Structure 1
Amino acid sequence: MKRWLCTAERVVGNHSDRLNAINIFPVADGDTGTNLYLTLRAAARAVDSAEYEAGTDVGTLLTDAAGAAMENARGNSGTLLSVFLAALAESVQGQSRLSAPLLASGLRRARMRCWSALSEPVEGTMLSALAAAADAAEEIDSSLNGDDSNHALAQSLTHIVETVRDAVVRTEEQLGPLRQARVVDAGAVGFLLVLDCLRETVLGTTASENSWDDLHGYQSEFPHIHGDMPADDGYEVMCTIELSPLDAATLRQRLDEIGESVIISPVKAVTGPQHGDVQEGELNYRWRVHVHIDDPAPALELLNALGEPANVTLSELAAPREA
């Protein structure tokens, strides 16, 4: 698992410029590759520098990776990738190794978690790639009758990667902006790269840097498609905050009223007392929050009224772009 995360960090880093070039949805700000890389870097470094005792289960390791990723998640794509890691970690708690049945369980859980984290889930994005991965994992696991051998895991991952690649190709026809620009979705490609890195780690192989050149708009010599798109006004606001489930639901509702691309996902459980009506010992959660908004002030006021936001980042959606 350490080797997978470190490989994914390196590969996505190497592909970040290509991913940035085709990033036009939900906003054409050309940062999906950078966001995925920085999120993966946080996850990989958290576990690579940690010293685990002999017999530590993979759930513990992936929980650490997911927590670091969630706390440092960047953008829509980085946040959804963090939710995927957290869901996978939940499915392998207490297990000494990953298997095809556990992978299928993790992808099924991740699909549910990612779709519920978004206020307005959209097909033709990383969500479609994740759904395809979950369906493929369940299909192959069923055909293998729940075989938990390493050989079955390798077969499962090969089938999943092939299926997700087809799903990535279809994203171009699922979203109008992608169809008009003749590119596939950047977040979906990034998720495909992460899964392929897991497959490579299990099989002990290495994919060519040009393995994905047949994806529309993805050749290294292509220009940055997003550079010709209209600049988007407003800001991306991200933070972590400790809230009760009720306050988190209130936050989502209010953010939906004043912003777009709202993502709220739990990072981990904590206990009170906190803000609002939470009593001593009552279970709270630490949440990762993401929203696009014209003016960040109302969002920040709302966050501060409900709790104490940490790791707050504000990014202009129309920030100057490199050629």
Structure 2
Amino acid sequence: MLQALDAAAVRRWAAACVDALDAQRDAIDRINVFPVADGDTGTNLLTTMRAALDALLRASAEDGLAVGAALAALAKGALAGARGNSGIILSQVFRGLAEAIDGTPSATGPAVRAALRRADELALAAVSEPVDGTVLSVLHAASAAAESCGSDTLAEVTRAAAGAAAEALEETPRQLAALARAGVVDAGGRGLVVLLDALAAVVQGREDPAAAARPVTPSRVARAADALVAERESGSGDYAYEVMYLLDGLVPGREKDLVTRLRRELAGLGDCVSVVGDGERLWSVHVHCNDVGAAIEAGIETGRPHRISVVRFADQITEAARADRFVRERAVVALVRGEGVAELFSGEGATVLPVDPARPPTETDLLAVLAGTRAAHLVVLPNDRELTTLAEAAAEQAIRAGQDVVVVPTASPVQGLAALAVHDSARRPGDDVVAMAEAAAATRRGEVVLAQREAITWAGRCQPGDVLGLLDGEVVLIEPRPAEHRPAGDAELVTAACRLADRALASGGELVTVLLGESAPLRLAGMLEEHLRHSHPEVELTVYPGGQPDAVVLLGVE
């Protein structure tokens, strides 16, 4: 049993927090419904906590690190790596602990009490409009319990704080209608309880403090009347109720047939039918209908319904309510890789979702961007074949929520830029989409990349490190690396770009657009311009620093 925290104990606590959040990330993501149901609070907390631990481990290389300095390193790392509102609040919790304990060789019970008080103050100040029923309520309860704890021992103070936080967490659905409607506790508050449980376990000297975190369990509360009425965002006004439930217990091997039958039966009862699975054994069911009992009975005949929610629709959305939701008529959303490419699309008026190769966007990420535009009519430019399916799935969800969304299947940023160039918000939405789609389809797309492995292509066999030229997705030329143990250099990249431009212009073209990747040689733009001046003097060349991490060169011909 620890009598005081030192730097080593802080390191054990931070490591236990990472392990516990990693174990509960998916469960916390699933209960994330406030302020936006974007399903990423667990992921954001884990990412922030990992950044904090990394910063602490780097600082621990110094001799004689004090506990205040250790907490300060956690706070700085958390702030630098903070993801989402939950990550920002977590960084302020660590900052409060660091400020209150600064300059002390160890942290006793009274010091931790003062630290929680300061953390409560900073977290509250970090939120412009504090709301009861969130992580702030949970933190305040933990601070108050530590303050009123009758003992000054570190174990009792941390135990009181963790216990009060868990009790406050169970109260959050009674404080916030969005949580009550979903039947869950606050996701951010759940993450804070994980951290405080881990702290109490470290103080008590448990061998595996990460295992001390309480499991995420559904919360069943009596919901107030306002939680049982909602505005209709989609579907026919003929149906008065929204029925939702989770479904498991389907007969193994018959899931597909059972789900198909359930969808068919629900479609006969109402509209806005959705039955989607998690890829394992759990399904989420949604329908607008009048016969609530029949909708639930259909679930009972299929499997085991639980977390059942029945919400009555208020009157259909009035024009005034629609005006409150949509503040503009049209918007274009583009998914892009590379800072330069992002600046190009932003400069043309598009809303940009940056694509991080290390963390590809999820359907939820894109859905949040679509809703955030607050536009009634949306065009989505995925700019990548692999992201088109994601864009279409998010568009389908947004359409069900009441937005008009069309995906123009651009396979490259150069096609996206061509589509954006003809975008005209003065045209009818349908006509504008047709014009954008035609401009994208008329743009030949090319790219210069480095081969990552040996393969057979249409242009022959390539080896790792060779330079490949692709046209409309097919390899059309290979520029071999100069030597067995040497990667391709500037000369091979420039030669490949010039040859690819010639191949792309073989069937005609007036405008060549080039996006230079982050690994493109500095002299490539000038060499390509000189080459085209001699081989295709009639062509106009435009070069931009794209900064994309994957392709050395992206090329479009119109």
> What whole-Å deviation, never above 9, does each CA across 1:221-250 have from its counterpart, x for those lacking one?
99889x789xxxxxxxxxxxxxxxxxxxxx
Offset, 1:52: 4.2
Q: Is the 8 A contact 1:55 1:96 kept in 2?
A: no
SS of 1:61's equivalent in the other structure is: helix
Amino acid at match of 2:164: T
1:168-183 → structure 2 map (5 Å cutoff): 168-183=169-184
Do the aligned partners of residues 209 and 54 (structure 1) sit closer, same or farther apart at CA in structure 2, a change above 3 Å counting?
closer
> What whole-Å deviation, never above 9, does each CA across 1:126-170 have from its counterpart, x for those lacking one?
000100011011011xx22xx3xxxx1011111111111100000
Which residue of 2 is the match for residue 318 of structure 1?
A: 368
Which residue of 2 is the match for residue 19 of structure 1?
A: 28
Q: Is the 8 A contact 2:133 2:175 kept in 1?
A: yes
What is the alpha-carbon distance in structure 2 between the residues aligned to residue 104 and residue 9 of structure 1?
23
What is the alpha-carbon distance in structure 2 between the residues aligned to residue 165 and residue 195 of structure 1?
9
Which residue of 1 is the match for residue 104 of structure 2?
A: 95
> What whole-Å deviation, never above 9, does each CA across 1:198-236 have from its counterpart, x for those lacking one?
11111122464783254528xxx99889x789xxxxxxx
Which residue of 2 is the match for residue 307 of structure 1?
A: none
SS of 1:122's equivalent in the other structure is: coil
1:34-183 → structure 2 map (5 Å cutoff): 34-140=43-149, 143-144=150-151, 147=152, 152-183=153-184
What is the alpha-carbon distance in structure 1 between the residues aligned to residue 130 and residue 106 of structure 2?
32
Which residue of 2 is the match for residue 189 of structure 1?
A: 190
What is the alpha-carbon distance in structure 1 between the residues aligned to residue 119 and residue 181 of structure 2?
30
Which residue of 2 is the match for residue 211 of structure 1?
A: 214
Do the aligned partners of residues 209 and 162 (structure 1) sit closer, same or farther apart at CA in structure 2, a change above 3 Å counting?
closer
Q: Is the 8 A contact 2:13 2:198 kept in 1?
A: yes
1:287-302 → structure 2 map (5 Å cutoff): none
Q: Is the 8 A contact 2:193 2:213 kept in 1?
A: no
Aligned residues: 233
Which residue of 1 is the match for residue 342 of structure 2?
A: none
What is the alpha-carbon distance in structure 2 between the residues aligned to residue 130 and residue 69 of structure 1?
17
Q: Is the 8 A contact 1:58 1:95 kept in 2?
A: yes
Amino acid at match of 1:199: A
What is the alpha-carbon distance in structure 2 between the residues aligned to residue 175 and residue 228 of structure 1?
23
Do the aligned partners of residues 98 and 215 (structure 1) sit closer, same or farther apart at CA in structure 2, a change above 3 Å counting?
farther
Structure 2 gaps, min length 5 = 1-9, 221-246, 249-276, 287-326, 328-345, 348-360, 370-389, 395-558
RMSD: 3.3
TM-score by length of 2: 0.38
> What whole-Å deviation, never above 9, does each CA across 1:292-321 have from its counterpart, x for those lacking one?
xxxx99xxxxxxxxxxxxxxxx96452669
Which residue of 1 is the match for residue 331 of structure 2?
A: none
Q: Is the 8 A contact 2:99 2:115 kept in 1?
A: yes
Q: Is the 8 A contact 1:87 1:109 kept in 2?
A: yes
> What whole-Å deviation, never above 9, does each CA across 1:236-279 have from its counterpart, x for those lacking one?
xxxxxxxxxxxxxxxxxxxxxx9xxxxxxxxxxxxxxxxxxxxx
Amino acid at match of 2:215: W
Q: Is the 8 A contact 1:5 1:44 kept in 2?
A: yes
What is the alpha-carbon distance in structure 1 between the residues aligned to residue 367 and residue 175 of structure 2?
24
Which residue of 2 is the match for residue 269 of structure 1?
A: none
Q: Is the 8 A contact 2:27 2:216 kept in 1?
A: no
Amino acid at match of 2:219: H
Amino acid at match of 1:201: V
Higher helix share: 1
Amino acid at match of 1:190: G
Higher strand share: 2
What is the alpha-carbon distance in structure 2 between the residues aligned to residue 44 and residue 75 of structure 1?
18
Which residue of 2 is the match for residue 271 of structure 1?
A: none
Do the aligned partners of residues 178 and 90 (structure 1) sit closer, same or farther apart at CA in structure 2, a change above 3 Å counting?
same
1:253-268 → structure 2 map (5 Å cutoff): none
Structure 1 gaps, min length 5 = 230-257, 259-295, 298-313
What is the alpha-carbon distance in structure 1 between the residues aligned to residue 106 and residue 213 of structure 2?
31
SS of 2:19's equivalent in the other structure is: helix
Structure index of larger Rg: 2
Offset, 1:104: 1.1
Deviates more, 1:101-110 or 1:164-173: 101-110
Determine which of 5, 28, 31 is the counterpart of 2:37: 28
Amino acid at match of 1:7: A
Offset, 1:51: 3.6
Offset, 1:50: 3.1
Which residue of 2 is the match for residue 235 of structure 1?
A: none
Indicate the structure whose relative CO is greater, using CA pairs within 8 Å and at least 6 residues apart. Answer: 1
Q: Is the 8 A contact 1:136 1:163 kept in 2?
A: yes
Offset, 1:115: 1.0
Offset, 1:6: 0.9
TM-score by length of 1: 0.65
What is the alpha-carbon distance in structure 1 between the residues aligned to residue 169 and residue 285 of structure 2?
23
Offset, 1:54: 3.8
